[in-house]
């Protein structure tokens, strides 16, 4: 597997013009949406300026943020590589699309305004994409920090079903191959698929990864921590139901776009079924928390395949005798399992202790 420590042994020289790259055009554009994170933006931009790879441009975009993004970015505009854009609020997908259209580089890297790159990130990702035309996106591991009980890495185990470095469309669809949001891809591929889907309010990044891989090739994973993902209280990734609805939309779109003879169609049918059941499970919990205890517990039993094991068996037995306990127990579960990472825990059955 490719790792950061092994990169130097076979990397291209990232300090000189490469291949047919146009003179004067940066090799990679770093896109930084900065809605509501003006107080953190400086850290993100400092991490960019600390890169060992210098041939980049950066576009910071304020899409109608309530805070002073312009003031936060102003000290960095002395660096000619950094530009600032301002637009009306169109959501993160619209902001990224606008910034990418304004960029010049053939490669695109995403850096949210509250996240960080480690110093070797761009050198590694640019080298990979310039060497291998079959890579549709290059990703890495990252440290999760901020509003979490304990700092940890995004990914702990082997990625995907192959060698751990190369991820197929199926691997990305079933999330056995995770993709960190701080990911790099080709502008040409991005344009060919129409960019981010601005109609999606959730899972828009997952949707992009899937549509990139529908073009063929594979995702590539660097088994090293090369980014820092900050969790903030109340972040958009904190609602499992919204994430599930976003994922269902991604699967529906992929199913419609995929040749029906492809083997991934069976996988998509399964993922759609499981996601819809998981969403019904979350809605049933909502019903209990909202006070409709009897019907909510009945709904939970109807999707009991989502919750197996002795913990849930005990819970259902307890609620049979003391139904009033269901509401505080499920409220506690919802609080305890609020989001602490970008990837949604897809199905409650995967972790009995989620209760």
Name 244's Cβ contacts closer than 8 Å, sequence gap at least 6: 275, 278, 279, 282, 344, 346
The residue that leads in pLDDT, 353 or 331, is: 331
Q: Distance between CA 117 and CA 142 in Å, rounded? A: 9
The C-alpha angle with vertex 134 and arms to 131 and 139, in degrees rounded to 5, equals 80
Q: Are the beta carbons of 148 and 340 closer than 8 angstroms?
A: yes
Domain over 4-233 is classified CATH 3.40.50.2300: no
Nearest to 127 by CA among 293, 282, 295, 13: 13
Under the banding of pLDDT at 50, 70 and 90, the label for residue 349 is very low
224-279 pLDDT, tens digit each: 999 999 988 765 445 778 888 999 999 999 999 999 999 999 999 999 999 998 88
What's the rounded Cα separation, in Å, for the pair 265 and 49? 43
Looking at residue 323, its pLDDT comes to 87
pTM: 0.83
- Distance (Å, rounded) from C-alpha 244 to C-alpha 22? 42
Distance of CA 269 to the CA centre of its chain: 22
Contacts of 115 (CB under 8 A, 6+ apart): 44, 181, 182, 227, 228, 229, 230
- The more confidently predicted of residues 5 and 316 is 316
The domain locations on the chain are 4-233, 240-354
- The pLDDT assigned to 184 comes to 98
Residue 306's pLDDT is 63
Give the model confidence (pLDDT) of 168-193 as tens digits. 999 999 999 999 999 999 999 999 99
Assess whether pLDDT exceeds 50 at residue 151. Answer: yes
Q: For position 226, what pLDDT does the model report?
A: 97
**pLDDT score at 34:** 94
Please, where are the H alpha helices in the chain? 4-7, 38-49, 69-73, 91-102, 121-131, 169-173, 187-192, 204-213, 240-257, 264-289, 293-302, 310-321, 326-336
Per-residue pLDDT band at 148 (split at 50, 70, 90): confident
Residues 6+ apart with CB under 8 A from 62: 34, 35, 69, 70, 73, 84, 85, 86, 87
- Residue partners of 69: CB distance under 8 A and separation at least 6: 34, 35, 38, 41, 60, 62, 84, 86, 113
pLDDT tens figures, 30-87: 999 999 999 999 999 999 999 999 999 999 999 999 999 999 999 999 999 999 999 9
Task: Assess contact for 349 and 245: CB atoms under 8 A.
Answer: no
């Amino acid at each position: 597997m490719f790792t950061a420590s092994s990169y130097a042994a076979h990397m291209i020289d990232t300090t000189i013009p490469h291949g047919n790259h146009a003179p004067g055009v940066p090799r990679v554009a770093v896109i930084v949406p900065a809605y509501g994170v003006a107080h953190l933006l400086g850290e993100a931009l400092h991490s960019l300026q600390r890169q060992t790879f210098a041939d980049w441009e950066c576009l910071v975009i304020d899409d109608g943020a309530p805070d002073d993004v312009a003031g936060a970015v102003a000290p960095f505009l002395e660096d000619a590589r950094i530009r600032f854009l301002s637009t009306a609020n169109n959501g993160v997908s619209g902001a990224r699309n606008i910034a990418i259209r304004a960029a010049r580089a053939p490669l695109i890297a995403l850096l949210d305004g509250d996240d960080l790159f480690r110093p070797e990130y761009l050198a590694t990702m640019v080298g990979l994409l310039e060497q291998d035309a079959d890579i549709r996106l290059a990703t890495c591991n990252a440290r999760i920090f901020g509003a979490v009980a304990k700092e940890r890495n995004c990914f702990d185990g082997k990625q995907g079903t192959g060698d751990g470095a190369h991820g197929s469309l199926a691997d990305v669809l079933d999330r056995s191959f995770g993709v960190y949001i701080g990911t790099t891809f080709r502008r040409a591929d991005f344009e060919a698929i129409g960019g981010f889907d601005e109609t999606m309010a959730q899972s828009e990044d997952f949707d992009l990864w899937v549509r990139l891989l529908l073009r063929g090739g594979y995702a590539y994973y660097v088994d090293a921590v090369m980014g820092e993902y900050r969790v903030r209280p109340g972040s958009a990734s904190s609602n499992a139901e919204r994430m599930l609805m976003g994922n269902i939309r991604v699967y529906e779109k992929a199913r419609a776009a995929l040749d029906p003879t492809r083997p991934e169609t069976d996988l998509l049918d399964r993922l759609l079924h499981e996601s819809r059941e998981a969403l019904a499970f979350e809605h049933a919990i909502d019903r209990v928390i909202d006070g409709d205890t009897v019907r909510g517990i009945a709904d939970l039993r109807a999707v009991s395949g989502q919750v197996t094991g002795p913990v849930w068996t005990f819970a259902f037995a307890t609620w049979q005798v003391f139904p009033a306990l269901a509401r505080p127990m499920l409220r506690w579960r919802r609080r305890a399992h609020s989001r602490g990472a970008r990837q949604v825990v897809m199905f409650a059955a995967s972790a009995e202790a989620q209760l």
